[in-house]
Structure 1
Amino acid sequence: MVLHRKQLFFLFWILIPVFLMIAGPISAQNRKFTVVIDPGHGGKDPGAVGSNSKEKDIVLSVGLKLGKFIESNHPDVNVIYTRKDDRFVELNRRAEIANKVHADMFISLHCNALDRRKTSPQGVETFVLGLHRSKDNLDVAKAENSVIMYEEDYSVKYEGFNPNEPESYIIFEFMANEFLDRSVYFASMVQNQLVTNSKRINRNVRQAGFLVLRAVAMPSVLVELGYISNREEEKYLKSESGQTSLATSIYNGFKEYKREYDKKSYVFNNGEKQRPQSAGVSSSSGVTNGREYRIQFMTSSRKYENGASVFKGLTPVDFYTDGKTYKYTYGSTLSPGESKELLKKVRKIFKDAFIIEFEDGVRVK
C-alpha cells in the first residue's frame, strides 16, 4: 500500500511522542506515579450539547472530582489536569502536557451523543487506541476528533488528517501501540466499575482512532460517560450524585490498576526498598501485604455502595467484615503520620472516627 505525502507527514507527527519517550525516559523509581486527567472540550468548544447541558461542563466536574479522590487517597500520586476550568485546550497541547511530565496514565473524559432526530441509546463505553472495527466506533472517533476544527490552521498542524474523512483513519493501521495491553487492562477495570458500581448500561471496552490517545506516550483511555442526547441519561450526567458516582467508579478502576502497578514496581527511599503506598485497600476490593492504617468511621449490618447518603458525602469508602457486621473505612496509608491527617479530615464529618491498623490485610486488634 502506498502512502501519500500528507499521510506520511501525519504519521511522522503522530509518532513524535514515541520518539521523545525513547530519547528521554525518566525512571519510575525516582519520581511519583503521575496521572493526567483530561476533561474534553472546553471554552469555545462545548462538545456534545443536550437539552439543557453541555459536555464540557459535565466532564470538567467529573474530572475534578476524580482528581480529588486520587489526591486524597494516594499521596504517592501526582495528579495533573489538562484543564481545571472552562478553557479551550488544543488536542496536541493536551498530549504535550502528558508527555512533558512523562505521565504513567492518561484519562480523557467525554460524553456521547446522537443526532436529536434519532432515538438515543444509553450506556458507558471505555475506548483505547486502535483501528475501529465498526461504524459506531468510527462515528465516535470522528465526533471527538472534530475538536481540531476549532483550532487555527488545523489543516497544517495535523497535516494529512481530516476527522470527517474515513480514509484519514487508515493511518492507524500502521501504528503499533506499545501501551495497548496496559490500556486495555485499565479500561476493563474502569468499565467494570462503571457498570457494577454506578449501575450504567454496558457498551463495553472498544477500540477507535482517537487523536488525543495516539499522541500520548503512555497507557491511556477515553471514557464516554453516557449519552447526553438521551433525556434520562442527561439528568444523571448533570446530577451531583451521578457525577460523584461516575468519578468514584473511575477512581476505583484507577485504584485497582495502581495496586497491580505497585506490586510490579519498587519505590526506593534513601537507598532502601520501601513498599509503595496503596490507598483504599480493603476486603471489599482485595488486600496487600504489610502494615497499613485506615480510618474507621461507621459500622452497620447493611452493605452500602459508594455514594450512599449515609456516608454524608465521604467518598470513596471501603469496608471490611467482622462476622455479619460491615465496618466502613476511609483512606489507606503506610504512614502513621499521614493516618493522623486523614483522621482529622474524617472527624469533621464523623466525630467518633478512629485509626485502625491492618497487617497483611488482617485487622490488628
Structure 2
Amino acid sequence: MSQLPTLEEIRRAPKVLLHDHLDGGLRPETIVDLARETGYDKLPTTDPGALRTWFQEASDSGSLERYLETFDHTVGVMQTRESLVRVAAECAEDLAADGVVYAEVRYAPEQHTSAGLSLEEVIEAVLEGFRIGSEGRGIRVGTLLTAMRHQARSMEIAELAVRYRDVGVAGFDIAGAEAGYPPTRHLDAFEYLQRENAHFTIHAGEAFGLPSIWQAIQWCGADRLGHGVRIIDDITVPADGEAKLGRLAAYVRDKRIPLEMCPTSNLQTGAAPSIAEHPIGLLRRLNFRVTVNTDNRLMSGTTVSEEFAKLSEAFGYSWDDMQWFTINAMKSAFLPFDERLALINGVIKPGFAQLKWHG
C-alpha cells in the first residue's frame, strides 16, 4: 500500500473551495486590530493567540446556535469599508497560501450595515478586497451573497446577486438557524433567481433533516446543498448487503446535486459524531457529488488542506480520491462551463499528476 499524502504535500495540491464564510475566516490578529480601530469593545480577549483558542473552544459546543454566536465578534469588526476590504484581501491571501485555485466565499451583506454602509457599498468593498488579495497569487475568488433565513430581505439580496453577477458575484445563498425557518419562506427570491438564470445554493440538511433537503431541492430548486449531511438518513446499509437509497437520496445522486460537505464544522455542530463516522465516507463510496470544504476556518481551526488530511487519515484517501473531490467541486462551481473546464484541464489535473508522479 502506498503512503498517504502528508499535510505539506496536500497544501501543494490545487484545491477548490465552495463553502467558506467570509466572517468565519478572519485572522485573530486582524480582529484585534479592527476592534481597536473601530471602537469595538466586546472581544473576550485582545490577545490574538488567546482569541484564536476562545473561538475554537466556543465553536466546539455541539450546538449550531451556540456556534453561530461566535460570529457576533467577527461581524462586529466588519462594519466599515476599510475593514471589509482588508478581511476579503486577507481571505484571498490565506486561501492562495493553502493551495486553493478557485473559491466561492459567502457572506450576508445585510449584516455589515450597522455603521451606515449601504448594501451596495458592502458588496463593492468585498469585491475590491478580493481583487487586491487575489492579484498575482494564482487564485480566483467569486462571492456568494447570503440572505439570513430569519430576516425578510432575501429578494433584495437576490436582486443584488443578479446585478453584480458580471463583476465577481457568483451566486446566492441563504444561511442561519434551520429549525423554524424553512427555505420555502424565501420562495419568491428563489423563483426570481431561476427566472434570471442565476445560480444559488441553500444551507440544508445540517441541523435539520431530510425535510429541509427536500424543500431546498424540490420547492426552491437549489443548484447545490450547503452541507446536506443528513441525506444519510435516507440511506440504509444492512450488515450483510449493499446500501439501499431512499427516493430523495437516489434523486440527489441521480441528478448529481453537489453536497458542500464541511467535516470539522459538522462535528462542532453535532451533525456528525467524528471524522471517521462522517457521512462523507459512505457518500463518496456511493459516488454522490461530494465536495470538501471548510465552512468557517477560524471557528473550526482548519484549512481545506487540513480537511483533506483528516479525511485521508480516516478513510485512507489517496491522491486519486482528492482529485475526484476537487474535480467534483470545480464541476459544481458557479462559473461558466468553459472556464470550469479550463481550470480542470489546465490547472487541477496537471497539478495532481505532478504530485502523484513525485509521490
- With structure 1 as the length reference, what TM-score do the two structures score? 0.28
Structure possessing the higher radius of gyration over alpha carbons: 1
**Which structure shows the bigger proportion of residues in strand conformation?**
1
